[in-house]
């Protein structure tokens, strides 16, 4: 059942004002139960896709936190992405040509509304759990707001409103992309994307996903031979100078993303994250979060440079039934992927805990490493 | 006496193997005393210049830590920079045309050796103090190693070896510059520099210089009207969407640097920082640092994302007469400039402390904010 499937969910009225015909690409694991209330919605992050069982493998499986023997797990590719759902590489209904830079701005809420339609089509009556990390966590939170019948929520390394810091990171990355001449205002030839700019953006992003200590441990000042395609100054004898291993690593990460991701999607989805603010148009975040009745597990990572722990502390504090768990990891933001086994353990334990009867339980704080 | 002056210091044998005829641009404040031992060498950071009394104004003046009434203060522009000393914009001796990308790689040690010649020419017999922040701190430390007669050293927000993390930051910035078509392999027309790429690099750098909390306090999610030159998606009615204030701020910082700095200099000086390792070719950092007899004040900043406090702790610990002081500031790495008044107070107090007689005093730890 985990094959990529496509569903035309019809025209969607976007927050931006226009109407977009949407197809969602999604995968499912497990079966919907008779009560139709065992659905788990997994939300992917910026450059992720619908194949949650690959990028979050330790979380999904028999006996795991997300168990296909008990849950009906659904993961849909984001609108605006380039892995099957409607996005900048999709054809425009009017011309049949790809949207490219004309693709409308979409919001986190637009994406959640699209996923709500998908789940309805799949026969789901009530969602048992929404879960996501980073950008995925923003969707999981909006799910809880837009559908009060969602029972539980897990938010990992995320925030209730995209911070100035995160907006700044993404703006510098977009600047690197649009500085590439092959960007062409977003109407680049498919075989000539703004590769160097997108690579620079990814290199920058990798810094925000990791941490000084993890880089030091992994690379230090280790050198390696020069590589074609990485600019180094020639030595006196004309040979290229050696590279620091960390330089080579970054270029490798840049090249890998260029091969698998679309620059317009990168711009659209980072802009989408920028507009994330759960309180916008609803009287503010404090009010909205205070109104949520779901049990919410908020996971923060000790060394997260991009979404610092303070943001998850605030989020957990503002949720009436919020529980904060801290993942003590040296890997920074990416620990939500790199430490998925420890994350799974932590989520499974929380899912198994007895739920307090009172609506306003005290947030509990504990450290995953203890 | 603080006018910009030029001195031809003759050909310099570089660590890279070639020989470079060097002119230094420098400024001085105060007068050399009769004993010729009251010189203070101020070392500037990446995009700084010789005008220390401007960018470090609170440190320099009557009654300040660096006092022209008592000290002979010297600040030289770095070789490789673009503010008067020999660098990529200087003419090649053979052709008279600018070096541009053919400018040789230079090291921190090359720069210190050039400054040593300058001070000799100025009649200085012995250096009282070397001081610098960030890249400037790397020079101040190398000064202490290359000239054992230097009496005291102040190292702010720096490290004894450029970390993998810092190398990665600068590599992503260089990638943004070289992704700009106007880069032209480093041989761009003077009136057509790789402006967009250099702006992207600076925007990235600004992130490393600041901190999530400082961005949140200053910008939050505040919006402002769209600006020409900053790409935003048009609304349905064709008007440009509003910008986050932090986006506008970053673009402003990018544009400002493009107006005042050369892209080849940016590449050269970041590469220079990458090669900084006080222990290289000397049996390792621990050995070199243990051999230093100077009193050294090491200042770290609590919220420094680029040179985390752990690096200054290590540095102070490895120095026999190292003293760590912690500047508790929300401003990140840039606190070494933004909080120069508090830094001055801290340095002045340390300079006034009685020096321990023993060669191996215990490092002391205290917090500047207390």
Of A209, A239, A271, at which residue does a domain stop? A271
- Flag whether B98 is in a domain: yes
pLDDT recorded at residue B19: 95
Q: Which residues does A286 contact at the CB level (< 8 Å), separation at least 6?
A: A279, A318
| C-alpha pair distances (Å), A351 with each of A35, A339, A344 | 20, 18, 10
Total of domains in chain A:
2
pLDDT recorded at residue A356: 62
Give yes or no for a contact between B262 and B82, defined as CB atoms under 8 angstroms apart. yes
> Which of B164, B179, B215 is the closest to A200 by Cβ?
B179
pLDDT recorded at residue B368: 44
What letter does residue B104 receive in the DSSP assignment? P
* Judgement on whether residues A129 and A21 belong to the same structural domain of the protein: yes
Of A238, A271, A304, at which residue does a domain stop? A271
CA dist B128 and B355 (Å) reads: 14
- Flag whether B155 is in a domain: yes
| Residues of chain A scoring pLDDT < 70 | 1, 228-240, 356-370
pLDDT recorded at residue A2: 82
CA dist B153 and B146 (Å) reads: 13
Picking from B367, B301, B316, the residue whose alpha carbon sits closest to that of residue B153 is B316
**Prediction pTM value:** 0.91
Show residues of chain B in contact with A16, CB under 8 Å: 235-236
* Judgement on whether residues A18 and A106 belong to the same structural domain of the protein: yes
DSSP secondary structure string, A2-20? -S-EEEEEEEEE-TTS-EE
* Judgement on whether residues A72 and A53 belong to the same structural domain of the protein: yes
Quick: pLDDT tens for A209-258: 999 999 999 999 998 877 766 655 444 445 557 789 999 999 999 999 99
Mean pLDDT of B289-309: 97
pLDDT recorded at residue B357: 57
Catalytic residue (one of B90, B160, B333, B334) = B333
Quick: pLDDT tens for B44-90: 999 999 999 999 999 999 999 999 999 999 999 999 999 999 999 99
CA dist B8 and A366 (Å) reads: 63
- Flag whether B105 is in a domain: yes
Query: What sign has the CA pseudo-torsion B33, B39, B40, B43?
Result: positive
| pLDDT range class, residue B367, cuts 50, 70, 90 | very low
- Flag whether B137 is in a domain: yes
- Flag whether B220 is in a domain: no
Annotation marks residue A15 as catalytic: no
Catalytic residue (one of A107, A304, A329, A363) = A304
Domain span including residue A184: 167-271
Mean pLDDT of B105-127: 97
pLDDT recorded at residue A361: 44
* Judgement on whether residues A248 and A293 belong to the same structural domain of the protein: no
pLDDT recorded at residue B356: 62
* Judgement on whether residues A309 and A186 belong to the same structural domain of the protein: no
pLDDT recorded at residue B239: 54
**CATH number of the domain bearing residue B21:** 3.40.50.1820
ipTM: 0.88
Annotation marks residue A304 as catalytic: yes
- Flag whether B247 is in a domain: no
Give the percent of chain B with pLDDT over 70: 92
Cβ separation of A231 and B200 shorter than 8 Å? Answer: no
**Contact with chain A for residue B360, Cβ under 8 A:** no
* Judgement on whether residues A227 and A308 belong to the same structural domain of the protein: no
The string over B53-86, giving b where at least 16 C-beta atoms fall within 10 Å of a residue's C-beta and e elsewhere, is bebbebbbeeebbbbbeebbbbbbbbbbbbbbbb
Mean pLDDT of B120-128: 98
- If one counts every other C-beta atom within 10 angstroms of the C-beta of residue A238, the result is 6
Give yes or no for a contact between A247 and B168, defined as CB atoms under 8 angstroms apart. yes
* Judgement on whether residues A239 and A219 belong to the same structural domain of the protein: yes
- Flag whether B37 is in a domain: yes
- Flag whether B31 is in a domain: yes
* Judgement on whether residues A175 and A27 belong to the same structural domain of the protein: no
Quick: pLDDT tens for B22-52: 999 999 999 999 999 999 999 999 999 999 9
CA dist B174 and B263 (Å) reads: 9
pLDDT recorded at residue B243: 86
* Judgement on whether residues A37 and A136 belong to the same structural domain of the protein: yes
| C-alpha pair distances (Å), A191 with each of A258, A262, B178 | 12, 11, 21
Cβ separation of B236 and A176 shorter than 8 Å? Answer: no
């Amino acid at each position: 059942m985990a094959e990529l499937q496509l569903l035309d969910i019809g025209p969607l009225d976007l927050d931006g004002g226009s109407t977009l015909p949407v197809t969602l690409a999604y995968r499912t694991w497990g079966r919907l139960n008779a009560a139709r209330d065992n659905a788990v919605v997994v939300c992917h992050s910026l450059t992720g896709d619908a194949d949650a069982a690959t990028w979050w493998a330790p979380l999904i499986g028999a006996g795991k936190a997300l168990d296909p023997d008990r849950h009906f797990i659904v993961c849909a590719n984001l609108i605006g992405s380039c892995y099957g759902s409607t996005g900048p590489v999709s054809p425009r209904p009017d011309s049949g040509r790809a949207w490219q830079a004309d693709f409308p701005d979409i919001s986190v809420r637009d994406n959640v509304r699209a996923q709500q339609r998908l789940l309805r089509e799949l026969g789901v009556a009530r969602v048992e759990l929404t879960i996501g990390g980073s950008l995925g966590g923003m969707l999981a939170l909006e799910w809880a707001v837009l559908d009060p019948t969602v029972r539980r929520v897990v938010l990992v390394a995320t925030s209730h409103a995209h911070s100035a810091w995160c907006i700044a990171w993404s703006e510098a990355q977009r600047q690197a992309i649009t500085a590439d001449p092959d960007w062409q205002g977003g109407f680049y030839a498919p075989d000539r994307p703004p590769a160097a700019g997108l690579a620079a953006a990814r290199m920058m992003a990798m810094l925000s996903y990791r941490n000084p200590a993890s880089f030091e441990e992994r690379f230090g000042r280790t050198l390696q031979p020069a590589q074609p395609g990485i600019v180094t100054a020639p030595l006196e004898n004309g040979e290229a100078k050696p590279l620091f291993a960390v330089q080579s690593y970054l270029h490798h990460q840049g090249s890998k993303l260029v091969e698998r991701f679309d620059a317009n999607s990168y711009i659209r989805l980072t802009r989408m994250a920028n507009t994330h603010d759960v309180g916008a148009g609803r009287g503010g975040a404090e009010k909205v979060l205070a109104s949520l009745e779901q049990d919410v597990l908020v996971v923060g990572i000790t060394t997260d440079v991009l979404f610092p722990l303070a943001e998850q502390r605030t989020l957990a504090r503002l949720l009436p039934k919020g529980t904060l768990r801290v993942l003590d990891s040296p890997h920074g933001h990416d620990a939500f992927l790199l430490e998925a086994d420890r994350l799974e353990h932590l989520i499974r334990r929380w899912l198994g805990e007895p739920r307090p009867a009172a609506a306003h339980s005290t947030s509990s704080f504990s450290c995953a490493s203890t």
